[in-house]
Amino acid sequence: MTVYAVGQGGYRVRFDWGPVGADVVAPGAAFVAVVDVLSFTTTLTVAVEQGLSVLPYRWRDDSAVDVARRHGAMLAVLRNQTGPGQITLSPESILNANLRADGIDRLVLPSPNGSAISARLADAGVTVIGVSLRNAAAAAAWVRERAGDRPVGVVAAGERWPDGSLRPAVEDLWGAGAFLDGLTKGVGAEDFSPEAGTALWAYRGVSPGLRDALGESVSGRELRAFGFSGDVAVASAVGASDVVPVLTDGWFVDGGS
């Protein structure tokens, strides 16, 4: 579309949605934050908290099994496919596991949203970081220390409608806004695109009641209906983590380590 010939390139802080949005905000940016609150980047944050390296993978198919085997990593499966000794995309399952004690230090996380976007950006010439509500403040501080005057992009992963099209997910808007809120300490309001400003104020508006709002969102209600209310609780723990997952040579590792 003609609008993207101009896009948000005149702003230091940019925001957009999904894989195509990632392609829009990445050019010229030094850092791109990927936000997928329920659940990829929350699961990623929890895994990195435990000292794991995480490979984002685009597909949930047999090729993911081969990739995990080749790298000597554990493969996270769908929540409803878990069996003995398996780990799922559920952040609560990672939080409650003691994988390092079992000799596991690498995890492959397939997902069609946040993981696929992260993998898509791996060769875009930007520093990709994973952001959840748990680590948004720490991630923003980390970027502030390194970005200087260079542009920063933020991508809300969103979910998928049954036909495969993007469903903007409000929890990712809030997660992006939480990260952007942290950036305001070092960036003027005039440097935020209107799109980024909208995410920022969406977060500030919901912040006092965010835990309840997350649980009542479409994605939150869906998880609770399938018995995964614990994942919503883990995701809603704003500021609980100080790790910053940074995509390095294809793997997310803690940028502070």
The residue extents of the domains of the chain are 10-254
**Can you tell me the distance from the alpha carbon of 181 to that of 202, in angstroms, rounded to the nearest whole number?**
10
- 3-state secondary structure (DSSP) of residue 244: coil
Per-residue model confidence as pLDDT tens for the chain (257 residues): 344 556 788 899 999 999 999 999 999 999 999 999 999 999 999 999 999 999 999 866 678 888 889 999 999 876 655 554 567 889 998 888 877 767 789 999 998 899 999 999 999 999 999 999 999 999 999 999 999 999 999 999 999 999 999 999 999 999 999 999 999 987 888 999 999 999 999 999 999 999 999 999 999 999 999 999 999 999 999 999 999 999 999 999 999 76
- What is the rounded distance in angstroms from the CA atom of residue 81 to the CA atom of residue 58? 18
* 167, containing H or E segment: strand 166-167
**Collapsed DSSP state (helix, strand, coil) of residue 251:** strand
3-state secondary structure of 47: helix
For residues 115-136, one letter each, b for 16 or more C-beta atoms within 10 angstroms of the residue's C-beta and e for the rest, the string is bbbbbbbeeeebbbbbbbbbbb
> CA–CA separation, 222 vs 54, rounded Å?
26
Fold of the 10-254 domain:
putative 2-phosphosulfolactate phosphatase (3.90.1560)
CA distance 75 to 62: 11
